[in-house]
Amino acid sequence: MTVKSKVPWQLESDHPEMLEPFREAMRQIVDPEIGLNIVELGLIRDVKIEAEKANVTMILTTPFCPYGPAMLEMTRQKAETFFKRPTTIEMGMEMWDFSMMEEGAGADWGLY
């Protein structure tokens, strides 16, 4: 099943063959407080890969998320393994809200 990002990632246009496998790899990282993965929550805002490195731009559901540092590091490690190159995580400046979630992901919360 192909689910298009609400915010297009650079990966989508530069390396479309990697989009779904990367998205599936990232689904393994779950916010332990919410119980949904970072793709469902829409926390990954952009993904760029270059010859020597990769960069993932991410946000958290709240600025002071107690699991934030651990989720950021898990994302970095998983992306680095996936892309087989050094990967950095950049914090995006936008505030998270429910509209960033994948369609249907909020159904258990009665949001959709």
Kindly list the domain boundaries of the chain, sorted by start residue: 10-94
Q: Give, rounded to a whole angstrom, the gap between the first and last alpha carbons of the chain.
A: 20
Residue 26 CB contacts under 8 Å (≥ 6 apart), including other chains: 37, 38, 39, 44, 75, 78, 79
Task: Say which amino acid occupies 75.
Answer: T
pLDDT in tens, the chain (112 residues): 444 446 789 999 999 999 999 999 999 999 999 999 999 999 999 999 999 999 999 999 998 889 999 999 999 999 999 999 999 999 999 999 988 998 867 655 555 4
Fold of 10-94: GMP Synthetase; Chain A, domain 3 (3.30.300)
Contact 68, 34 (CB under 8 A): no
Q: What is the largest CA-CA distance in the chain?
A: 43
**pTM exceeding the 0.85 threshold for the entire prediction:** yes
- Neighbouring C-alpha atoms within 13 Å toward the C-beta of 46: 13
